[in-house]
Amino acid sequence: DVITLKSKGQEFAKIKLKDRDRLSLNDRLGKAEIPLTSVYAAGKSSQWYPLQKGDKITGEVLVEIEYHPNTVV
């Protein structure tokens, strides 16, 4: 999936992941916090981040992110 965000100089992007079920409720998989400092500097990043649910690590998510400072959406 592709998500477009407007950045106002935040240090982190926070994401919450759920699975997508057709016959039952979607389950929460966890949360991840993506540091943006290196993305601002390099313009892009591709990295695995841990998913956390409470105090437990429930998995990992691959986040590929690009930063376009002059793009108007």
pLDDT of 13-55, one tens digit each? 999 988 887 787 878 889 999 999 988 899 999 999 999 999 9
CA distance 43 to 60: 22
Distances (CA, A) of 4 to 18, 53, 59, 71, 73: 18, 24, 24, 11, 9
Q: What integer pLDDT is reported at residue 71 of this predicted model?
A: 59
CA distance 73 to 61: 26
